[in-house]
Amino acid sequence: MQKAIIYIRVSTDEQADKGYSLRHQEEYLRRYCEMNNILVVELIKEDYSAKTFNRPAFNAILGKLKSRQVKADLLVFTKWDRFSRNAPDAYAMISTLNKIGVEPQAVEQPLDLTIPENKIMLAFYLSAPEVENDRRALNTLVGMRRAKKEGRWTAPAPCGYDNKLDDQNRKSIIPNKNAPIIRWAFETLSTGQYSVEEVRRMCNAKGLKLEKNRFNQIMKAPVYCSRIIIPAYKNEEEQVKRGIFEPIISEELFDKVQEVMTGRRAKLAYKVCAKDELPLRGFLDCPRCGKKLCGSGSRGKSGRIHFYYHCLKGCKERVRANDVNVAFSNFLSSLKFKTGVNEVYNEIIKTLFKSNAVEKGGSQGSIMVEMDKLKLRLNKAQQMMLDGEMTMPEYREIKQLLEPKIDQLLSQQLAQNHVEVEYRSYLKRGLTAVQNLGYLYDRLDVTGRQQLIRSSLKQNAVFSDGRVRTPELNSLITLTTYADAAHSQSLTEKGSHFGSLSRMVPYGLDLSNFMDDFQRIRILMNSRSWKSLL
């Protein structure tokens, strides 16, 4: 009696029919073996593409055949396209199987390969699926290139967009709820004041959770300014087309971010050289020409090195670094806490979460609806399995697919419930940090000082007449402190104690900007330098 290994396979793109297809192949092949008095010694199921023989189950049984752990005379399958869709690889594998005494055979396309003429039919059976694959791939490639030339997006919707159908029932994309966060990320990164990682963390705090590599890819993706890149193909050179979908950012902003990320914009480059004597290098503007000041050391006649902040390209602005460093430290130390700050912050938090309550509730509601839908599907599959309409392996497969999605939605739901608690905790620590900026600055190393400067200043400072002038500070600092008696007097006239949120309007508070600026302090509090001092 001949012994056979049954081999059944569906490709990845046949997953929709997987349950029926595998079962149908198995029943057909078992019946064939039974009718031909063939003993089945092994059943192999596979869900990999037949373009190559890089298939785990197939390679596993091949190894057992070579080591004689399994003995068989035949490897049976329904059609030759179940065996392979690559003619050269198929011929090589047939030769390998013949050497170990195993004959591959397609029961619906039987061939006696000992007859030379039958190899012509074998070539046809093997080549036809390969030609079909190649034709389908070519048609897809041509269609996608034509669509791109028309300005249409052909890939899955990128982060910040959703798929939709246009008026002509063709695929397109539209911005979704994450689009404003992505726009904010581009705008913030374009300033050159933050690293890509810092901006990513701030986006995470805003609700857009992304891994490092994924975030880097987004910041480099031209789709966000509605540019479509068409790669070179044959005699056609690479082309750039304007997309017919709505851009999230302008082309100018996208180009500016690319310059910052590649370091071509020295004026806005983030990586400021850290030197103990020059912590403000890169954070000062020239009072004469407005350009960014550089810094360097100069050896005097005594051999001692003196450090200066100075301008370049013909401007003669040059000041002693120590004078500027002391002035900036004194400026931070002069910041005094306003009265009534705790009450103001309580009002801010209350207003923020009150304004987001409707949106938060809607989000929670959508999560609950989706969770209920997935649980219903799982329960239905379980019932079908109990009623005999579905096999246990099929039920397990559905369960393995749905349960991770349910767990993910549950995690999102729990994360939303902790958002308010998290912000209150950071808010308290943020107040402590701002109240002690001068103390912290004097005790940090140069890297920590530059982090503090970057988080405190929204624009570069200017040193003139022995004082440091700052055009715009972090909103958190502006709201909670004042730096001199004149400012203090103006506050007294307006009311030194903030009694309600409406009184914040004279101080230019924008809640959305406030939370953006608060993230600067939040990132700083998570750094190693600050954790040792707070």
Q: Please name which of 154, 142, 42, 49 lies closest in space to residue 102, comparing C-alpha atoms.
A: 42
Q: Please give the helix or strand (H or E) that residue 42 lies within, else none.
A: strand 39-46
Looking at the fold, whether 193 and 250 belong to one and the same domain comes out as yes
| Separation CA 203–CA 193 (nearest Å) | 15
Q: Residue 427: which pLDDT band, with cuts at 50, 70 and 90?
A: low
For the chain, the domain total comes to 2
The confidence score (pLDDT) of residue 267 equals 41
- Domain assignment of residue 375, yes or no: no
Smallest CA-to-CA distance from 461 within 211, 236, 286, 225 is with 286
User: How many C-beta atoms lie closer than 10 Å to residue 186's C-beta?
Assistant: 20
* 138 lies in the same domain as 165: no
pLDDT band at 449 (very low <50, low <70, confident <90, very high): confident
The answer to whether residues 138 and 168 belong to one domain is no
The CA-atom distances, in angstroms, between 353 and each of 14, 207, 366, 430, 518 are: 47, 14, 19, 18, 15
Is 252 inside any structural domain? yes
Residue 483 lies in a domain: no
Sign, CA dihedral 41-42-43-46, equals: negative
In a domain, 201, yes or no: yes
**Alpha helices (H) along 436-496:** 437-443, 446-456, 475-480, 485-494
Domain boundary among 142, 170, 188: 142
Is 130 inside any structural domain?
Answer: yes
Q: Please give the pLDDT value at position 65.
A: 92
CB-based contacts of 490: which residues, under 8 Å, 6+ apart?
A: none
pLDDT in tens, 456-513: 887 888 998 888 887 778 776 776 676 554 333 333 333 344 444 444 443 445 555 5
CA distance 365 to 179: 21
Whether residue 239 is found in the same domain as residue 172:
yes
- Higher-confidence residue of 168 and 258: namely 258
Structure tokens at 341: 């700050």
Domain with residue 261: its CATH number is: 3.90.1750.20
In angstroms, the CA 66 to CA 202 distance is 57
**Where among 112, 142, 172 does a domain terminate?**
142
Q: Which pLDDT belongs to residue 361?
A: 47
- Mean pLDDT, range 410-420, rounded to an integer: 60
Is residue 371 situated within a structural domain?
Answer: no
**Can you give the pLDDT at residue 33?**
93
For residues 47 and 96, membership in a common domain is answered with yes
Within a domain: residue 149?
Answer: no
CB-CB neighbours of 372 under 10 Å: 12
Residues 224 and 124 in one domain: no
Element (H, E) at 92: helix 87-99
| Residue 516: inside a domain | no
Q: How confident is the model at residue 153 (pLDDT cuts 50, 70, 90)?
A: confident
29 lies in the same domain as 137 = yes
The DSSP element (H or E) to which 280 belongs, if any, is none
29 lies in the same domain as 138: yes
* pLDDT tens, position by position, 56-65: 999 999 999 9
For residue 29, which of 79, 84, 101, 98 has the smallest C-alpha distance? 79
Q: Tokens at residue 457, please? A: 């200043």
Do 194 and 255 have their domain in common? Answer: yes
Q: Is the pLDDT of residue 384 over 60?
A: yes
Q: Mean pLDDT score of the chain, rounded to an integer?
A: 77
Dihedral through CA 515, CA 516, CA 518, CA 524, nearest 10?
A: 150
- Here the CATH number for the domain that contains residue 95 is 3.40.50.1390
Nearest to 457 by CA among 515, 509, 521: 521
Token duo for residue 266: 């020295």
Q: Assess contact for 315 and 291: CB atoms under 8 A.
A: yes
Q: Considering 205, 240, 268, which residue would you say is the last residue of a domain?
A: 268
Instruction: Collapse the DSSP code of 172 into the 3-class scheme (helix H, G, I; strand E, B; otherwise coil) and give the result.
Output: strand
Q: Please indicate, yes or no, whether the overall pTM of this predicted structure exceeds 0.85.
A: no
Who contacts 147 (Cβ-Cβ below 8 Å, separation ≥6)? 154, 170
Name the residue range of residue 38's domain.
Answer: 3-142
Question: 8 and 84 share a domain?
Answer: yes
Task: Looking at the structure, tell me whether residues 130 and 174 fall in a common domain.
Answer: no
Residues 187 and 72 in one domain: no
C-alpha distances out from residue 493 to 217, 324, 343, 477, Å: 51, 32, 19, 20
